[in-house]
Structure formats: structure tokens, C-alpha cells
């Protein structure tokens, strides 16, 4: 029966198609060797008539109540999965795997756990369709959530984790599956699911993944496989170091030769991935950074890397990671001027100005003022030129947050004197015309804290601001509005959870973000717990001081 005709019949006669499936099942039972096509059709019919609604995350969510899924599973699907002849009737085994994947949210928890064993066995099937569907079933079982929590517990999966991992890596040796996206996605999911429990075998897994990376560098041809390969590496680093920080040196020694091949052979598809994982490793390191890291830094400033749009987000994060752990060493080696050259290029671009602000903020946040104060007038000149010529809402927000950071780090007078080198008393004009009116654009707890503390400092530490009564009142109103809205405001960028691990969530032709290598949260101004309390206390002291003078 042609597929399109069958689907039209199903749409109109859902309640009467089930008997057709039973008849086709009977045909297969009468002659299993020759009747596999009948059973293939039966499984297709049952799935088509049963699924009323489905999602990518859960599979089938609503089903036809006239079809007994449990009975069909027990009688027709499970025997195929448990068949020891894993290379016979591959179409039926693929059908059975697709069935349990589709109806995973309808199956009991213990059934899903029990299915992990036959799915692992089917990873050894020579048929690409079978071991690919087996990997997909395993991955979807582990990703399944119920009531906001994983349906399967780590403690329940742990006893079969070693066979699962062994079976997945062995499956890459099948012909035509050396770069099988479904297998690598299942590896990534298993590592992320087990978390810190992966630590004992993490070095061995990382070595296997590094060897795969070296091999795939010769001819990258599967974007999905590549993405999940690097996601798996990032997951091993994330969870392995959380369990044992001492393993970091082992991970570095394993990965650096592969990364050297990527960079020296200019494998452009992998550059954003390598930059993100290098940043992840540096962020996990304690200063001082070792020699291999410091040797990598100068080439990162090569304009060739920055001309490729997909590199910019990852490279910016990598430079900020270096500044956070080796900022003074980089300044002493004369690299700061080159970093500021990168900032100039980024901030002049409407598509990259946010990364320019991230870089200059990293310099101000992590370096002592003496290292960069001489360059601040040039920085302000570049920013003022953008404000006058091609201001955008995103640029204005970045400018507001950066000025706030500078005020918090250098004080109001320190920022004012550096701006005076561009134009005397220009800071008052900037505060009145740009900063105060745009204070509300700051978003998230960290940005809100920065602008609230900076506004408080402007109100209480600057004689020039206090003397300019309209400006002082404008700033006070903007601060009050920001503090009133902070608690109900945006919580900023949040972790995408399991969804972020999906290729579509972080992958594009321009940039492939690794969810497992996400930046750690390091709050700014950690010494100030509550910006509202800080502002109220400082303002009360200031008003008492000026009223008594």
C-alpha cells in the first residue's frame, strides 16, 4: 500500500485500521522468514494509527486509546529486540527500535531500564540502520525527563554504563560509521547523564575522542558528528575536573597534540570548538598558566583568525579567559596593545561590538589600572565616535554597562579624568545625555548590580555631579527606577539545560556553541551582596553629610 494513500486512510479511519495490522502480524507469524515485510507494514500501521501527538523531546505524547501499546510491545516488538541473531532481519530490528523510541514516554521506567541491555547488544549489528537506531534509542531514553527530572536515575543506569560506553565506541569501527552522528550523540548524552560518575574512565574516553579528532581532521565531512565529538570532550572535562581537579593536567596532555594539528593545519571548521575548549581549560586552571598555554596566545591575535565570523565569539571568550588568569604576564610581555587593536576592530562593527565590550571589560576587570590607564582616552574616543555616528540599542547597552564597570573599578574621578583627555567635562554630558537615560537597558542581575553601584557612586562621590542639580536628580530617578525593577527584572542568560545539548540549539554555519563548555558564573563586585542595600546606605550617609555641612 503506497505510503501517501495509507496516511490518507489513517487520517479518516483511525479506529478501523488496527485489524489490518493484526492480519499482517498473523502473516508474519505463519512464515517469519518470508513474512518480515508483513510485520514491517504492521509496525508502521500501528505507529501511524496510535500516535495522535508527539514532540521531539518526549516522543508520542497522546495516543489512540483503542490501541494497546503495552500488548503490542510485549508480543511483537520486544522479541525482535531480544533476538540474539543481531544481524538477521535488520529492518524489523530497526522498526522495533523506532517503536520504543517513539513511545518512550509511554513505557514504564523499569521497561526503559531493561531495554538498555538489548539496545547495547544491537550496537554490534553490522547494519548501519540498526546500530544507528540503537544509539538513538539509548540517547533518547537518557534525555527523557518526567516532572522536570530525568526519568532514569544515574544510580539505575550506572551498572550498565560500562557496557554501554564500550558498545558505543566499538560501533564506530563498523564500515561507514567512523563518523556516525547518532553514535557520537549517544556518547555525548551518556557522558552528560552520568556526570561526575564518568571521572574514573574519563581519561581513557578522552584519549579515544582525541584520536578520533586527529583522524577526522584529515577530511571533516559530518558537521553533526563533529559537534557532538567536541561536546563530548567538553563534557568529560566539565565532569571529570569537578570530581578530580588533579586530572586537568592529564586532559591537557591528551588534547594539546590534537589541538595543535587543528590549528597548524588550519582546519577552520574546528577553530571555534578548539577555542572554546581552550577557554574552558584555562578557566579551570589556577595561575600561573603553564608554558604551552602562553605559547598559544600570540598567534590568537593574528588578524586572519578574527576575519572569520565564526571565530569571534569563541576567540573573545578565550582572550578574556587569558586575561583572568595571566593578565599581568600578558601586559608585561607587551600583548595588551594588540588586544586593544582587536577591541578597536570589534567595537567598530555593528555585528561584533558586543564582543568588543566583552574584551575591554575583561581588561578593566582583570588588570590593575596602571596597566591600561594610558590607553583609556583612546578607548573613550573610539566609543564616543560610535555613539555619534552609528549608535544602536545593543551598543548603547554595552556602553552603559562598560562605563558602569569603569566607574566601579576606577572611581568616578578616575573615569572623569580619563574622559577629560578627550574633551574637558565631557563626562557630565555623557552621563546626562546617554548614560542616565539608558540605565534601564542594563539586563540581568550582574548588569543591574553594576549600574546600580556605579550610579550610587556618581551620586555620592562626585562634587561635579552634585553641583549639577538637574543631572543629580536625573541620576537619582534612574537609580530608583532600576532598584525598583531589579527584583522583578530579567534573570539574564540562563543555562539551556538538556535542550542546549542539541545541535540546533547552539550550532550554525557561523558559530557552534558548546553547552558543556559554557562559561562559569563569576559574579562581579562579589563584595557587594545587595546593590539596593548598598545604594540606600551610601545615599543616607551622603545626605546626612551634605545636610550637616
Using alpha carbons only, give the angle 143, 145, 150 rounded to the nearest 5 degrees: 80
- In three-state form (DSSP H/G/I as H, E/B as E, the rest C), the secondary structure along 323-343 is HHHHHHHHHHCCCHHHHHHHH
CB atoms within 10 A of CB 294: 16
Q: What is the DSSP string of 450-511?
A: HHHHHHHHHHHH-HHHHHSHHHHHHHHHHHHHHHHHHTTS---S---GGGGGSHHHHB-SS-
Q: What is the dihedral of CA 195, 201, 203, 209, to 10 degrees?
A: -80
> Would you mind telling me the total number of residues written for the chain in this entry?
549
Res 81: pLDDT: 95
Q: Which helix (H) or strand (E) holds 150?
A: strand 149-150
Q: What is the dihedral of CA 45, 51, 54, 56, to 10 degrees?
A: -30
pTM of the model: 0.88
The C-alpha atoms of residue 427 and residue 462 are separated, in whole angstroms, by 11
The per-residue pLDDT of the chain, averaged, comes to 88
The string of pLDDT tens digits covering residues 95-130 is 999 999 999 999 999 999 999 999 999 999 999 999
- Dihedrals φ, ψ of 381, to 5°? -60, -45
Q: Is 55 helix (H, G, I), strand (E, B) or coil?
A: strand
Res 60: pLDDT: 80
The C-alpha atoms of residue 460 and residue 45 are separated, in whole angstroms, by 74
The strand pairing partners of 507, in sequence order, are: 512
The string of pLDDT tens digits covering residues 199-217 is 888 888 999 999 999 999 9
The string of pLDDT tens digits covering residues 156-190 is 999 999 999 999 999 999 999 999 999 999 999 99
The string of pLDDT tens digits covering residues 143-160 is 999 988 999 999 999 999
Give the rounded distance of the alpha carbon of 505 from its chain centre: 8
Give percent above pLDDT 70 in the chain: 89
The string of pLDDT tens digits covering residues 34-60 is 566 888 888 888 888 888 888 888 888
Report residue 3's pLDDT band, with 50, 70 and 90 as the boundaries.
Answer: very low
Report residue 498's pLDDT band, with 50, 70 and 90 as the boundaries.
Answer: low
Tell me: pLDDT of 422 over 50: yes
The C-alpha atoms of residue 227 and residue 512 are separated, in whole angstroms, by 7
Comparing CA positions, the residue from 39, 138, 34 lying closest to residue 79 is: 39
* Alpha helices for 244-301 (secondary structure H): 248-264, 271-284, 291-300
Amino acid at each position: 500500500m503506497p505510503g501517501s494513500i495509507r496516511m490518507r486512510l489513517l487520517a479518516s479511519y483511525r479506529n478501523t485500521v488496527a485489524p489490518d495490522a493484526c492480519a499482517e502480524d498473523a502473516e508474519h507469524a505463519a512464515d517469519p522468514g518470508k513474512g518480515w515485510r508483513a510485520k514491517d507494514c504492521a509496525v508502521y500501521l500501528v505507529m501511524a494509527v496510535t500516535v495522535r501527538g508527539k514532540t521531539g523531546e518526549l516522543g508520542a505524547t497522546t495516543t489512540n486509546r483503542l490501541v494497546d501499546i503495552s500488548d503490542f510491545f510485549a508480543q511483537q516488538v520486544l522479541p525482535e529486540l531480544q533476538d540474539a541473531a543481531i544481524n538477521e532481519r535488520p529492518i524489523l530490528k530497526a522498526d522495533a527500535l523506532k517503536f520504543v523510541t517513539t513511545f518512550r514516554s509511554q513505557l514504564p521506567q523499569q521497561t526503559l531500564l531493561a531495554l538498555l541491555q538489548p539496545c547495547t547488544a544491537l550496537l554490534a549489528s553490522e547494519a548501519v540502520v540498526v546500530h544507528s537506531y540503537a544509539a538513538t534509542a539509548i540517547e533518547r531514553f537518557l534525555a527523557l525527563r518526567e516532572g522536570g527530572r530525568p526519568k532514569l536515575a544515574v544510580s539505575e543506569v550506572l551498572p550498565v554504563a560500562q557496557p554501554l560506553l564500550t558498545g558505543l565506541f566499538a560501533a564506530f569501527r563498523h564500515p561507514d560509521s567512523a563518523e556516525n552522528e547518532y553514535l557520537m550523540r549517544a556518547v555525548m548524552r551518556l557522558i552528560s547523564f552520568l556526570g561526575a560518575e564518568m571521572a574514573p574512565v574519563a581519561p581513557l574516553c578522552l584519549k579515544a575522542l582525541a584520536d578520533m579528532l586527529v583522524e577526522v581532521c584529515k577530511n571533516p565531512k559530518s558537521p553533526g558528528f563533529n559537534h557532538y565529538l567536541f561536546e563530548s570532550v567538553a563534557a568529560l572535562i566539565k565532569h571529570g575536573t569537578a570530581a578530580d581537579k588533579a586530572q586537568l593536567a592529564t586532559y591537557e596532555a591528551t588534547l594539546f597534540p590534537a589541538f595543535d594539528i587543528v590549528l597548524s593545519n588550519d582546519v577552520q571548521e574546528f577553530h571555534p570548538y578548539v577555542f572554546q575548549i581552550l577557554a574552558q581549560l584555562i578557566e579551570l586552571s589556577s595561575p600561573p598558566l603553564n608554558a604551552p598555554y602562553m605559547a598559544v596566545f600570540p598567534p590568537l591575535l593574528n588578524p586572519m583568525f578574527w576575519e572569520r565570523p565564526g571565530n569571534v565569539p569563541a576567540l573573545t571568550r578565550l582572550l578574556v579567559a587569558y586575561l583572568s588568569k595571566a593578565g599581568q604576564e600578558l601586559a608585561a610581555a607587551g600583548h595588551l596593545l594588540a588586544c586593544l587593536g582587536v577591541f578597536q576592530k570589534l567595537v567598530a562593527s555593528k555585528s561584533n561590538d558586543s564582543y568588543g565590550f566583552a574584551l575591554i571589560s575583561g581588561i578593566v576587570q582583570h588588570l590593575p589600572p596602571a596597566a591600561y590607564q594610558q590607553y583609556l582616552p583612546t578607548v573613550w574616543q573610539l566609543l564616543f565616535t560610535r555613539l555619534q555616528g552609528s549608535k544602536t540599542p545593543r551598543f548603547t547597552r554595552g556602553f552603559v554597562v562598560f562605563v558602569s564597570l569603569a566607574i566601579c573599578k576606577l572611581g568616578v574621578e578616575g573615569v572623569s579624568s580619563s574622559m577629560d583627555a578627550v574633551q574637558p567635562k565631557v563626562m557630565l554630558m555623557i552621563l546626562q545625555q546617554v548614560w542616565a537615560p539608558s540605565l534601564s537597558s542594563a539586563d540581568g542581575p550582574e548588569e543591574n548590580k553594576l549600574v546600580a553601584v556605579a550610579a550610587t557612586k556618581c551620586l555620592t562621590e562626585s562634587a561635579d555631579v552634585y553641583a549639577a542639580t538637574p543631572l543629580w536628580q536625573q541620576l537619582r530617578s534612574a537609580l530608583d527606577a532600576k532598584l525598583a525593577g531589579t527584583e522583578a527584572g530579567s534573570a539574564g542568560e540562563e543555562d539551556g539545560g538538556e535542550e542546549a545539548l542539541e545541535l540546533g540549539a547552539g550550532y550554525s554555519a557561523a558559530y557552534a556553541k558548546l553547552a558543556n563548555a559554557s562559561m562559569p558564573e563569576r559574579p562581579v563586585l562579589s563584595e557587594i551582596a545587595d546593590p539596593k542595600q548598598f545604594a540606600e546606605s551610601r545615599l543616607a550617609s551622603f545626605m546626612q553629610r551634605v545636610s550637616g555641612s
